[in-house]
Amino acid sequence: MVKSTLYLICSGILILSLSMLLLFSHFSQATGDTENLAGKRQLVSYLGLTDLSLCSEARYTRHPSQADLFSAFQDFPGSFEHFPTGSMISPSPAGFFSRVRVSSQSGSE
């Protein structure tokens, strides 16, 4: 029964390690890194920031919540995607309400 005992001990250590990491994450999330979070919120509020400064190569990846839909194509709809991060971050359609409507010859929409 040596191997099974050894295996159970090793698995127990792994489960314990993972549980500790997850508990650490949970408590770190609960306390919310309060010191920096307050500072970050102050920054966002004062400067009126709307996006993370994550990918700065294109407008729509630097400010995904603010970019217009055409900026994904840069110059014209249907042109090839220029930037690698464009495949990670798509433009947000928030705030656009226009629609394409089709009107039949009888006049009803």
Partner 1 sequence: MRRQLKILEYTLSSLLRRKYKSFSLIAVYAFTIAVLGSVLFLTQSLKSEATGSLVSAPEIVVQRVSAGRHDLVPIGYAEVISKFPGVKSVTPRVWGYYYDSLVKANLTLIGIGEYQEQLELLDGRLPIKPDECAIGMGIVNVFGPGKGDALVLENSASTSKTFKITGVFRAASNLLTNDLVVLPEAALRQFFAMDSTLATDLVVEVYNQREIKTLAKKIKYHLSDTRPITRDEILHTYETLFNWRSGMMLAVAVAALIAFCILAWDKATGITAEEKREIGVLKALGWETADVLTIKFWEGLVISLTSFLLGVIAAWIHVFVFSAPALTPLLKGWSVLFPAFQLSPVVDFYQLFVLAFLTIGPYLACTLIPAWKTATTDPEQVMRD
Q: Provide the binding-site residues for partner 1, judged by CB under 8 A.
A: 1, 3-4, 7-8, 11, 14-15, 17-18, 21-22, 24-26, 28-29, 32-33, 36-57, 59, 61-62, 64-71, 83-90, 92, 94-97
Rounded Cα gap, residues 23 and 41, in angstroms: 26
In this complex, which beta carbon is closest to partner 1, that of residue 95 or of residue 104? 95
Q: Are 58 and 82 contacting, i.e. CB atoms less than 8 angstroms apart?
A: yes
- We find the least distance from the C-beta atom of residue 34 to partner 1, in angstroms, to be 10
In this complex, which beta carbon is closest to partner 1, that of residue 57 or of residue 79? 57
- We find the least distance from the C-beta atom of residue 59 to partner 1, in angstroms, to be 7
Q: 37-59 in b/e burial notation, b at 16+ Cβ within 10 A?
A: eeeeeeeeeeeeeebeeebeebb
Q: Are 77 and 70 contacting, i.e. CB atoms less than 8 angstroms apart?
A: yes
